[in-house]
Amino acid sequence: MLILHNKKLSLIVPVYKGEKFIAENLKQMKQSISKYFPNFEIIAVIDGYVDKSMEEAKKVAEVKVLGYKDNCGKGHALKYGFQHCTGDFVTFVDSDMDLPPRQLKNFIPYMATADMIIGSKRHPFSKLEYPLSRKILSKGYQLFSWMLLGVGLRDTQSGLKLMKKEVLDVIMPLAMVKRHAFDLELCFLAEKHGFRCVEAPIHIDYKFSGTSISRNTIFKMFLDTLAIRYRYSILHHYQKEYHNKRFGSKK
């Protein structure tokens, strides 16, 4: 297995109500990722001071812990963490580690030709062990987002992605979604800019997870998705923001 001695990896971990598990999970992240990315940093972003997540995260040595008072959503936390990262490659890791970062080792072969690697539930070599209801919701959202936005990827909502920092330097400042459809927006913007996005196999095991997706969350995801199309095709917001940030033009 290729070990990337000369490249640095930044792991950005959004944390919300994680005081019971965040310290142990951060330790596991450090241990597993160091085998394949000897040069790395972990940035934990506490998305709202609602419990003792900040204190628990700071117990783990060599982890950069950031945070802010109010809960603003996963998308906001990832953008905030990105502003403080220094790696050549960036990955987002969910704090509950439903998708362990050790699976990133399987992404390494794709890095030679790809700008963004998506851990895809629909890759033919992926293994899924999670409820049928989740599979149906995931497939339904995939079809809806494909019809509305034309995103070519079969899975945009996976919690594990590996991206070149220079790609995120272009698209991250344009992202607007703070919560539910942030991953989709990121993939949509990457494709619109012509970056090469590929899917890699993952193993998901939710058999013992008690988490569920509420109707309110599903409704907000659909609203967020509609908002992406509205901003791109009607307001031309992304295009204007790109020119404003890159060329100093507000036209």
Please check the confidence at residue 89 and state whether its pLDDT lies above 60: yes
Q: What pLDDT is attached to residue 208?
A: 46
Which tens digit of pLDDT belongs to each residue from 90-144? 999 999 888 889 999 999 899 889 999 999 988 999 998 877 777 788 888 889 9
Share of the chain above pLDDT 70, in %: 94
Q: What is the mean pLDDT of residues 34-54?
A: 94
Residue 60, SS3 per DSSP: coil
* Per-residue model confidence (pLDDT) at position 136: 85
Banded model confidence at residue 5, pLDDT cuts 50, 70, 90: low
pLDDT at residue 179, rounded to an integer:
86
How many whole angstroms separate alpha carbon 147 and alpha carbon 141?
10
CB 227 within 8 A of CB 233: no
Q: Average per-residue pLDDT in the chain?
A: 90
Q: Whole-angstrom Cα distance, residue 79 to residue 36?
A: 25
Q: Phi and psi at residue 105, in whole multiples of 5°?
A: -60, -30
Q: Hey, what amino acid is at 66?
A: L
What CA–CA distance (Å, rounded) separates 55 from 199? 36
pLDDT tens digits for range 143-171: 999 999 999 898 888 778 999 999 999 99
Please compute the mean of the pLDDT values over residues 12-29 and round it to a whole number: 96
Confidence class of residue 2 from pLDDT cuts 50, 70 and 90?
Answer: low
CATH code reported for the domain at 9-247: 3.90.550.10
Q: List 127's β-bridge partners, or say none.
A: 203
Domain range annotation of the chain: 9-247
Q: How confident is the model at residue 199 (pLDDT cuts 50, 70, 90)?
A: very high
Buried b / exposed e over 10-39, threshold 16 CB at 10 Å, is bbbbbbbebbebbbebbeebbebbeebbee
Answer yes or no: is pLDDT of 74 > 50. yes
> What confidence score (pLDDT) does residue 65 get?
98
Going by C-alpha positions, the residue among 102, 104, 125 that lies closest to residue 201 is 125
Which structure tokens are listed for 11?
């792991």
